Structure 1
Amino acid sequence: MTPAVRHWSLFVARRLGALAVSLWIVSMITFVVTRMVGNPVYLMLGPRYTEEQFQAAVARLGLDQPMWRQYLDYLGNLLSGDLGVSRYTASPVLNEMLARAPATLELSTFALILGVAWAVPAGIAAGRNPRGWFARFADLMARAGVAIPGFWLSLLLVFVFFAKLRWLPAPLGRIDDAFRAMPRPTGWMTLDALLAGNMAALGSALAHLLMPVIALAVTTSPSILQITRARTAEVMASDYIRAARAFGLSEAKVRRYALRNMLAPVLTMITMTYGFLISGTVLVEVVFTWPGLGLYAVNAMNHSDYEPVMGVVLFATAFYLILYMLADIVNAAVDPRTRSTA
């Protein structure tokens, strides 16, 4: 094994080890917290039950066992790929999550694309001229995005563009009722409409996406704008950029050098934002009745349904950590300084 291969193998192994430990810690904390919130037996039995019925239900669900024993049983099932069964819907949690995950992934991905499309160019423009009027405008936009709650902006968009102007459809799902029977091989309404060649369905899917995507993009992209602006200003004021210009390099080459040196932190922030979007769509999904993982988790919490909440938390955590690990690998490949300390 060559030194380079050994270095990369150790690098990836360390990241995978950290991912496994993080997931274990999150599973343990979530397991304890969910069981401190409420007992699902009360909701399952209703207001009228006998003590014998209550005790029988507790024993059937295994809730009479010590918590450490319950956790070991859950961990054993988890390692075999079993996320349990929802006590409210009586369906396997894994199946329900697989059915709902495309809705959340589609919403989060479009929100990230829109956020990056405006935040990165705006950050670069503001960083190249930190004292200009556009830099002040970008700073105002970033502050507004941080200050505005996503659910409040969602409600405002619904009020303006649906209730008042009637420009966009009602916040009741992902597509109009006329297209609900459309085949869904991917679960992404936009992709499925394109695959089916149904432009009317595509327009309906995009119209339903527009308001939640704007709400998420506005409230989650300011961090991308700020890190892009700060890193651009730092790189453009650095000695090697001044030296490159002094040696007569073209402005196009100088910009390429600057872009490569600012890429790592911006890429990391984009990755972190995407991971946050997967778990941060909860309130927006509730406002728009979006049938994704966030709405699924909220409904499960309302019924003290442990397993779906655990499944959604672990999925969001794993997604975030995998993205972060991939960003580390890309940064190490792009930037030799990062690679030498990895």
Structure 2
Amino acid sequence: MALAGKVVARFVLEQGELLIGSDYGVILLPLQMALRSFEPILPTMEVYASFGQDDAIVQQVLGALDAHQSIEIFGCSNAESSFLLRSLAHQFEMEHVVLYVEQADVLEDVLQWIFEQLYRVPADVKASRAEIRAGLRDRQVLVLLNHPTLTGSELEQLNQINQILPESLFVVASSKRRFFQADCAIEVSGLDEGSCQPQIRADRDPEAIFAESRLLRETLQAYVKQKRWAEVLRMVKSTEKVFAIAKFWGAWEQLLNLGLQAAWALEDEGAEAWALHQLGTLAFCQEQVTLGYDLLKQALDLRTDLGEKTAIAFSQHNLSQLKALIVPVKTENLPQYNQRYLF
């Protein structure tokens, strides 16, 4: 499509297709699709480790898990808890798969990551919130979370994940006891750090994007406090595509909101319109139709006032596509995309 210009990534959504790449914003396209589903990934052994002299701790945790209890392990360092969780990942079996998550992040991004560990999702396909929740509802997963400094908001997020995966078990490692919803709490200390080395490294480490996302947001928040708005906007514009392409759209949304805040502070209406365009399109892709329409309409009004013809065309196009996707038209001439990824 000529309007899209440079395209660095495309995603097939439930509602259509999303093109990412242009500095003017992302583009929505219609795409006719049958009902899609995703093929489950069979369990694989990703980590092997021996806990050496501290096998007794592992056995205590395994006993609690056999009793179908969620657990909080507290009192050990980040490196120690990381190794302990990896040892559990090797030794405990559940119906489907064992997951290891280094630290909490935006809820939707954690769920996205978990979903893609359980189902085969093509690189150019973005599962919707509804598809992710439906796919996780009945799966039995051991979620291993290493987060030494859980905050109140992160505990609330953990509770939400627990509700979305009701058949799953959780092991949370932290420096102090915080997860009081856990069925069992085990305090450990004085582990032999020399023994905390895996014999074989994990074939697939947790997505580095989690750590990068957190570090970037912390840096941006520091700039916000210092009112360094130009740097905030520059960082948002230079990094937001990375999170969009990685399918971590919760972090993407947070970045765009910081960019919008910076644009307001700088009284930069062009940047404000760009952020509104991105947020509006993203909202629609996340099934927030009314919000998406309102934000795109604001973006179009601003771009019309500024007289930026190409920018106007982008927002007008997405607004028209949103309306067309809400009120379907005849689809005989739309591109076909056959998706068969069975649950």
Q: Tell me, yes or no, whether TM beats 0.5.
A: no
More strand by share: 2
TM-score normalised to structure 1 length:
0.21
- Larger CA Rg, structure 1 vs 2: 1
More helix by share: 1
TM-score normalised to structure 2 length:
0.21
